Structure 1
Amino acid sequence: MRDLKRFLVGRPLKSSALKEQRLNKLKALAILSSDALSSVAYGPEQILIVLASISLLAFWYSIPIALCVLILLAALILSYRQVIYAYPSGGGAYIVSRNNLGENAGLIAGESLLIDYILTVAVSVSAGTDALTSAFPQLHDFTVLIACVFVVLITLLNLRGVTESASILSYPVYLFVFAILVMIGGGLWKIVNGGIPQHHTPIGTFVPGISLFLLLKAFSSGCSALTGVEAVSNAVPNFKEPPAKNAVYTLFMMGSILAVLFAGIMFLGYWLGITPKAEETVVSQIASEIFGRNWVYFMIQGTTMLILILAANTGFSAFPLLAVNLARDKYIPRMFLIRGDRLGYSNGIVTLGAAAILLIIIFRGETEHLIPLYAIGVFIPFTLSQCGMITKWVREKSVGWVSKLVVNLIGAMICFIVVTIFFVTKFTQVWPVLIFVPLIVYLFHRIKKHYVSVEEQLRLTETEKTLQLDGNVVLVPVAGITKVVENSLHYAELIGDTVLAVYVAFDRESEIEMKQKWEQWRPNIRLITLYSQYRSITQPLTRLIDIVQAKAQENNHSLTVVIPQFITKKRWHDILHNQSGLLLRLYLLYLKNIIVTTVPYRLKK
C-alpha cells in the first residue's frame, strides 16, 4: 500500500519546501480561474433554456440579460479586490463576515462556500462529461461512471501538490481560452463577411407571454457564469510574494477574460439563433455552425471538456484552505489542519472528492439539477462579504473609505437582489438551502462546544492536585495456556502489585480442566474462572471488572486490564480468528478509571 501511494501521490516533501509550493500569477490564473472561465460553457446555455420556455422570439432578451450579468461581474471584481487587500491572509467571505457581521454570519458564509466547492466539482465534472457525450453520443449511458472517474483522477492530481497540479492544469486552461477566442473570432469574421446569415429575432421585438418573472429567472440562471469569482480571495496565502498584489492582478485578469468569453458566446448564440438541446451543448452547436464537424470543432469540444472537468480544481484549491480556517476556529474537525505528504491539506482534498462523487451519483450527473443550488451557494457568501466590508468601512473610516463603501454597497445590493430572485423564481430547486444552512450552522456550534469542553477538562490548574494511588491491580483475561498469555502475564507482573487472571468457560468440564492446568503452570498467580451459560465472553468479564474496580477504588488502587492479542503475519489471516479482545477493549475504553493495555504477540508465519 505504501508503494502504491508513492506511485499515485509521489514521495513526501520536507516542510521546508512549503515556500516552493506557492503559485506565480500565470499558474494561479489557471488553477483559480478555471471554475469561473469554465462557467461560460454552461452559463449562457442556462439563460437560453429559460427564454426557450417562452418562445424563440424571446431570445433577443439574452443580450440585455448578458449586459446585466457583466455589470454584476464588474461589481464583484471591484468588491473582491478590496477584500483581498483588507484580508490578505485569505478566508474570503468567511473571514470578512465573521469579523464584521458576527459568528453566525461567518458560519453561514463558510458553510455555503464549503457546499459550493463540492457543487463546483460535481457541476464542472458533470458539464465536462456532457461536452464529451455531445461529441460522442454513444457514451451517454456511461455519464455517471465517466464523471466519477474524472473526480478520482483530479483528486489524485491535487494530492500530488499545488504546484504540480497547477503546472499540469495551466495548459488546458489557456488552450481553452485560445479555442473559445478562435471560435468567437471565426464567428465574428464570418458575420462581418456575410458568411453566416442572420437567424435571430431583432432586438425590441414584441414577445407574447413575456413577464418580469421569467426575465428575472433567466438573469438568475445566467449568474451561474459568475461562480468561482471568490476563489482568488480565499487562496491569497498560496500566492508568491507579494501575495495580495499578485492575487488582485490575477482577479482582474480572470474578470477580463471571463467578460470577453461570456459576451462572445452570448452574442454568437443570439446571432445564430441557437436553441438549447438536451443532447448537445450550446457551445457545441455554435462551433458546429461556424466550422462544421472538422478538427477545429473537435479542438473546441475537447478543450471545453477539459476546462469543465479541470474547473473542479478551483474547488480543490479553495475548499481545503477554507476548511483550515474553520478548523482553526474549532467549527469542523481538526483533521483538516493536517498537511499531507505533499504539503497539501490531504484530508480536505479527499473529503471534497468523496462528497462530489456522492452528489454525482445522487443526481445521476444531470448538471441542470445542480446549477441552481450551486449558484445560490455562491451568492449568499457574496452578499454577506459585501455587507461585512460595508460594516468595516463604516466602523474604521480609513483613508478613502467613502469610495470603498460605495463599491461594496453597490455589490451588496446587486448580490442581494440576485439571491432574492433565486428564491422567488427557483424556490422549488433551492429550498433545501433553507433547511441545510441552519442544520450545518447548528452542527458547527456543537463541534465547537465539544472542543471548548475538552480544553476545559484537559487544562491544568494550580488548585487541582493529581490523585495519588497506593497500588495497581492488573486483570488479565486468558483463553488458555499459550505463549500469548505467558507474554501478557510477564508484563502484568512488571506493572502490577496484584495480578489476577480470568478465564471464561462455556461448560463445567473445561472450567475444571483449566483450573488443574493452571495450578501446575502458574500457581503464584490467582486464576478466577467464570461460567457463561449463554456462551458470552464479554458480559461475565465486564461484570467481574465492575466488582474488581469497586474494590480497587476502596483501597485507593488503580485497575489495569491487560488484553493478550496475537498479531497475524498477513492481514487477511485476521478474518480466520475471532476478535473478542478488540470488542472487550472497545467496551472498556469508555468505562471510568480503568486503564486498558493490549500486549501484542506477533506470529512469524
Structure 2
Amino acid sequence: EQKLNKVKALAILSSDALSSVAYGPEQVLIVLATIGMIAFWYSIPIGIGVLILLTALILSYRQIIYAYPEGGGAYVVSKHNLGENAGLIAGGSLLVDYILTVSVSISSGTDALTSAFPVLHDYRVIIACLLVIFIMVLNLRGVTESASALAYPVYLFVVALVLLIGIGIWKVATGQVSPDVHPAIGTAVPGISLFLLLRAFSSGCSALTGVEAISNAVTNFRQPAARNAVRTLVAMGIILAILFSGVMFLSYWFGIVPKAEETVVSQLASQVFGRNGFYYFVQGTTALILVLAANTGFSAFPLLAVNLAVDKYIPRMFTIRGDRLGYSNG
C-alpha cells in the first residue's frame, strides 16, 4: 500500500527537475551578461539546444526503464554496459550530485523568498539550514507521507508558471512590451566566443537536473511499474520543456538582466503581474517547490546507495529497509 501512483510519483520524483526552471534560464543569462546585454539573444538558440538534450535524455531514460525495471540509474546501467570503473564514476558522481542538489535547491528557494521579502536577506543561511532539517524530518516519516505533502506545491508551481508564461506571451502578442528592451536576434556581438557560448549552454543544462530520478525509482511505482514510470517520465519531460522554453523566451523578450538581490523569475513576475497577489503566488510556489526539490536528493540518494551497498562498495547498512518503504539509513 506504500507504492506510488502516477500523480504522486510525478510530484515526488519530478520536483527537482521542474523546479530547476527557476534557476536554469537565469544561469544562461548570468554567463551572457559578462559580454553585455547585447549578447542576450543567444539565450534563444542555447535554450533550443537544452531542449534537444532534454529530448535525448527522456528517450534514453525511457529505454532504461524498460531494460532495467528493477531500477536502473546511471550506476547500474554504466556498470552493466561499460564496466565496473565507469559504473563507480557514475555512482560516485551521483552520490555527490544528490547532496549538491539539496544545497542548490534550498539556496535557490531561499533566494526566491528573499526576492519577495528583501527584509529577510540577512537571514538566508539560517533559513536554508532550517529548511534542510525540515525536509529530513519529512522523509524520516516515509516516502508516501512526503509524496502527499509534495503533490500540492508541485502542481501549484506548474499552474503559477503556466499563468505567468501565458499572460506574458499574451502581453508580447498584443504589443504591450516594447521591442526595444531586448537585442534583435542575429545582432553582431563583439567579444563573443565559442567557449563562452558552450559555458552558457552547460550552465543552462542545470535545468535538466533530476531527470534521472524516475528511472532510479521504478520499484516504487504501482504495477505495471515500468509502464507507469515511462508515462510519468514523458509527462515530466513535456511539462519541463514548456516551462523552460516559456521562461527563457520571456526573459529575453522582457529584457531581464540578472541581479544579485532578485531572481530572474521574480523580475519576470513583477513585470508581467506587478507586485500584487499573483506575484506573491508565483514567488511562494517557486520557493516551495525549490525547497521541496531537495526531496529528490533524500529519495534518490538511498536508492542509489542500496545498489552500491549490494556490490559492497559502501557499508551494508544502506541495504536495510525501514518500516515505511524508504531506506532510512540512506
Q: Shorter-chain-normalised TM-score: which range?
A: over 0.9
Q: Which residue of 1 is the match for residue 34 of structure 2? A: 53
Distance 1:320 1:52 in 2: 39
**1:52, distance to aligned residue in structure 2 (A):** 0.5
Return the structure number with greater relative CO, CA threshold 8 A, min gap 6.
2
Q: Which residue of 2 aligns with 1:297?
A: 279
Q: Distance in 2 between matches of 1:325 and 1:207?
A: 49
Partner of 1:222: 204
Tell me which of 203, 209, 217 is aligned to 2:191. 209
Q: What amino acid is aligned across from residue 329 of structure 2 in structure 1?
A: N
What secondary structure does 2:329 align onto? Answer: helix
**Separation in structure 1 between the aligned mates of residue 166 and residue 25 of structure 2, nearest angstrom:** 18
Separation of aligned partners in 2, 1:83 and 1:237 = 13
| Counterpart selection for 1:313 from 295, 314, 323 | 295
Give yes or no for contact 1:21–1:161 (8 Å, CA) kept in 2. no
Q: Over residues 315-361 of structure 1, what are the superposed CA-to-partner deviations in whole Å (9 max), with x where a residue is unaligned? A: 1111111111111111111111122343321111xxxxxxxxxxxxx
**Which ranges of 4 or more aligned residues in structure 1 deviate by more than 4 Å?**
none
Matches within 5 A, 1:554-569: none
What is the DSSP-based 3-state SS (H/G/I as helix, E as strand, rest coil) of the residue aligned with 1:303? helix
Task: Look up the equivalent residue of 2:234 and give its one-letter code.
Answer: F
- The structure with more radius of gyration: 1
Cα distance per residue 1:75-97 (max 9 Å; x no partner): 01001100111011113111111
1:35 pairs, out of 16, 27, 33, with 16
- Could you tell me which runs of 5 or more consecutive residues in structure 1 were left unpaired when the two chains were aligned: 1-19, 349-605
Amino acid across the alignment from 1:221: S
How many residues end up aligned between the 2 structures? 329
* TM-score normalised over the length of structure 1: 0.54
The answer for the alignment partner of 2:4 in structure 1 is 23
Distance 1:77 1:91 in 2: 14
Deviations 1:266-293, CA, capped at 9 Å, x for gaps: 0000000000000000000000001110
The reply on whether 1:74 has 2:51 as its aligned counterpart is: no
Partner of 2:87: 106
Q: Which residue in 2 is equivalent to 1:167?
A: 148
Cα distance in 1, alignment partners of residues 193 and 308 from structure 2:
43
Q: Alpha-carbon deviations, 1:45-99, whole Å to 9, x = none?
A: 0000011100110000000000000000000100110011101111311111111
Structure 2 residue identity aligned to 1:167? S
SS of the residue 1:196 aligns to: coil
2:318 to 329, 336, 346: 336
The structure in which a higher percent of residues are helix is 2
Kindly provide the CA deviation profile for residues 537-583 of structure 1, in whole angstroms up to 9, marking residues without a partner as x: xxxxxxxxxxxxxxxxxxxxxxxxxxxxxxxxxxxxxxxxxxxxxxx
Rounded to whole Å, the distance in 2 between the matches of 1:87 and 1:78 is 14
Please give the per-residue CA displacement for 1:205-260, whole angstroms capped at 9, x wherever unaligned: 01111111111111111011001011111011000001111111011000000000
Residue in 2 that maps onto 1:263: 245
1:146 aligns with 127
Q: Which one-letter code corresponds to 1:265 in the other structure?
A: V
- Deviation per residue, 1:157-176 (Å, 9 max, x gap): 11111111101100000000
> d(CA) in 2 for partners of 1:257 and 1:310?
18
Asked if 2 retains the 8 angstrom alpha-carbon contact of 1:121 and 1:313, the reply is yes
Find out whether 1:193 has 2:174 as its counterpart.
Answer: yes
Residue from 305, 314, 323 that aligns with 1:323: 305
- Residue in structure 2 matched with residue 94 of structure 1 by the alignment: 75
Decide which of 215, 233, 241 is 2:215's aligned counterpart. 233
* Cα-to-partner distance string for 1:346-389 (whole Å, 9 max, x where unaligned): 111xxxxxxxxxxxxxxxxxxxxxxxxxxxxxxxxxxxxxxxxx
Q: In 2, Cα distance between the equivalents of 1:343 and 1:186?
A: 42
8 Å Cα contact 2:54/2:208 also seen in 1: yes
For residues 295 and 7 of structure 2, the distance between their equivalents in structure 1, rounded to whole angstroms, comes to 15
CA contact (8 A) 2:64 2:72 kept: no
Question: What is the distance in 2 between the residues matched to 1:66 and 1:295?
Answer: 30
Matched AA of 1:81: R
**Alignment check: 8 A CA contact 1:91 1:325 kept:** no
In 2, Cα distance between equivalents of 1:217 and 1:161:
39
Question: Contact (CA 8 Å) 1:91, 1:322: kept in 2 or not?
Answer: no
**Identical-pair percentage:** 76
- The secondary structure found in structure 1 opposite 2:71 is coil
Aligned-pair Cα RMSD in Å: 0.8
DSSP-derived class of the 1:245 partner: helix
8 A Cα contact 1:91 1:321, kept in partner: no
Residue pairs, 1:590-605, within 5 angstroms: none
SS at match of 2:189: coil
8 Å contact kept, 2:71–2:217: yes
In the TM superposition, residue 192 of structure 1 has moved relative to its aligned partner by 1.4
| Amino acid paired to 1:163 | T
Structure 1 counterpart of 2:294, which letter? A
Of 280, 287, 302, which aligns to 2:262?
280
Matches within 5 A, 1:425-464: none
Tell me, in whole angstroms, the C-alpha distance in 2 between the residues paired with 1:149 and 1:310: 13
- Separation in 2, partners of 1:238, 1:204: 48
Taking the aligned partners of 2:32 and 2:94, their CA distance within structure 1 comes to: 29
| Bigger fraction of residues in strand | 1
